[in-house]
Amino acid sequence: MKKLEMFLDPSHELARNDLIGLLGLQDREAMEELFQRAYEVKLQQVGKKVYFRGIIEFSNICGKDCFYCGIRKSNRNVVRYRMSEKEILEGARFACESNYGSIVLQSGERKDSRFTAFVEKTVKAIKEMSGGKLGITLSLGEQDEETYRRWFQAGAHRYLLRIETSHEALYRRLHPKDHSFRKRLNCLNLLKMMGYQVGTGVMIGLPGQTVENLADDILFFEKMDVAMIGMGPYLIHKDTPLSSEVTDFETIKDRQLDLALKMIAVTRLYLKDVNIASTTALQALTPTGREMGLRAGANIIMPNITITKYRSSYQLYDNKPCLDENATFCRACLEQRIESIGETIGYNEWGDSPHFKKKETGEAVDESGHIQH
């Protein structure tokens, strides 16, 4: 293996093998060096500001049956809920009043026309309520072209759809037969074509996943030319089929955390100017997980603004944090956590990535991420 200094030399262009080498680092000191270097690249490329996207998990009703996910349709232990438009608007209002630049509406996957119309109406109502100020991201799974178009026209401008893994054979092992990798990929292409800022991502440390697969995931993000990446460690949920394949989860938790942080860092080193989320799943592994994500190169946090009474029913994995807290508590908690690592919050900003801005304007962007006129 090449020397670490060489991998981390800013003038060295990383190739697939380098990504694999970095993701495979085991030595603690070497890992810290990697995180440090990724942090420097983050400061140069996107700055020290963390952008908030308040997330409203408005329904756990899901038509999909992914083997890893706690709200899969076959899980009979989940109490299903859906929030009303009024409840969602209250969350959006909280986000506005808290000066969060944008929100994410996430739910289980539903494809019926009532759902499409409900989302369309709700997006319009949020736009109106905030005077167009609040950015709206949707994370509502695979839909047809017409649905994506209606939601875009209603005012949503970003969409998150994780590919989960870019390795088709691994994807197949994680999903029932009627779930299709190709369809998902097609959705990502549709969303891009339609003008959404698209975010994607993967789970890290899945059973059967190799560091080669993860390196290819990063190359996939590059090829898809996405504006935002949201990824987190795979965590077991006891009521899912995949959890029975992982009998030693307690003993591999530290490894999952390290691997997820390495993935964030290597993605930052390689893609440089994209938005990368420090996801809640990191905090499920250790209380300061999200701060660690920011220190390894991430720059986005998604504070939970779901009404507290619903939170325990939206557990995609075990040990999800913030179940008993409310939006106000999480806001204060995250402000304090971010301050503790010397970063600031980009209040009242949509927080588009320099990568997206460059593409949109065709203009040069300086090192702090500001467009040069």
Residues that bind ligand FES (CB under 6 A): 304, 322, 325, 329-330, 333-334
User: What count of other Cβ atoms lies within 10 Å of the Cβ of residue 305?
Assistant: 27
Region of 210-218, 227-235, 247-255, 364-372 interacting with ligand 5AD (CB under 6 A): 227-235
Residue with tokens 């037969």: 177
Pairing mode of beta strands 197-200, 203-204:
unpaired
Interface with ligand 5AD includes 41 (CB under 6 A)? no
Q: Are 368 and 360 in contact (CB under 8 A)?
A: no
- How far apart CA 272 and CA 39 sit, in angstroms, is 10
Question: 330 touches which of ligand FES, ligand 5AD, none (CB within 5 to 8 A by kind)?
Answer: ligand FES
Q: Are 38 and 268 in contact (CB under 8 A)?
A: yes
- How far apart CA 95 and CA 113 sit, in angstroms, is 28
Q: Are 256 and 204 in contact (CB under 8 A)?
A: yes
Interface with ligand 5AD includes 220 (CB under 6 A)? no
| Structural tokens at position 113 | 């026309």
Dihedral sign, CA of 314, 317, 319, 322?
negative
User: CA-based diameter of the chain, in Å?
Assistant: 57
Q: How far is the CB of 329 from ligand FES (least distance, A)?
A: 6
Question: 334 touches which of ligand FES, ligand 5AD, none (CB within 5 to 8 A by kind)?
Answer: ligand FES
Q: How far is the CB of 133 from ligand FES (least distance, A)?
A: 24
- 248 three-state secondary structure: coil
Residue with smaller CB distance to ligand 5AD, 44 or 180: 180
Q: 31, 235, 259, 277: which one contacts ligand 5AD (CB under 6 A)?
A: 235
- How far apart CA 279 and CA 263 sit, in angstroms, is 12
Question: 281 touches which of ligand FES, ligand 5AD, none (CB within 5 to 8 A by kind)?
Answer: ligand 5AD
| Structural tokens at position 257 | 């955390």
Residue with smaller CB distance to ligand FES, 337 or 355: 337
Q: Are 61 and 97 in contact (CB under 8 A)?
A: no
Interface with ligand 5AD includes 203 (CB under 6 A)? yes
Residue with smaller CB distance to ligand 5AD, 305 or 345: 305
Q: Which of residues 258-317 bind ligand 5AD (CB under 6 A)?
A: 281, 316-317
Q: How far is the CB of 217 from ligand FES (least distance, A)?
A: 27
- How far apart CA 147 and CA 208 sit, in angstroms, is 34
Question: 333 touches which of ligand 5AD, ligand FES, none (CB within 5 to 8 A by kind)?
Answer: ligand FES
- How far apart CA 322 and CA 280 sit, in angstroms, is 9
Interface with ligand 5AD includes 320 (CB under 6 A)? no
Region of 216-224, 233-241, 298-306, 361-369 interacting with ligand 5AD (CB under 6 A): 233-241
Q: Which residue is nearest to ligand FES (CB)?
A: 333
What single letter denotes the amino acid at residue 339? Answer: E
Residue with tokens 């949201």: 230
Q: 35, 51, 52, 68: which one contacts ligand 5AD (CB under 6 A)?
A: 68
Q: How far is the CB of 101 from ligand 5AD (least distance, A)?
A: 21
| Rounded (5°) CA angle 177-180-184 | 155
Q: How far is the CB of 339 from ligand 5AD (least distance, A)?
A: 27
Interface with ligand 5AD includes 234 (CB under 6 A)? yes
Q: How far is the CB of 60 from ligand FES (least distance, A)?
A: 19
List residues near ligand 5AD by CB under 6 A. 68-69, 162, 164, 203, 232, 234-235, 237, 281, 316-317
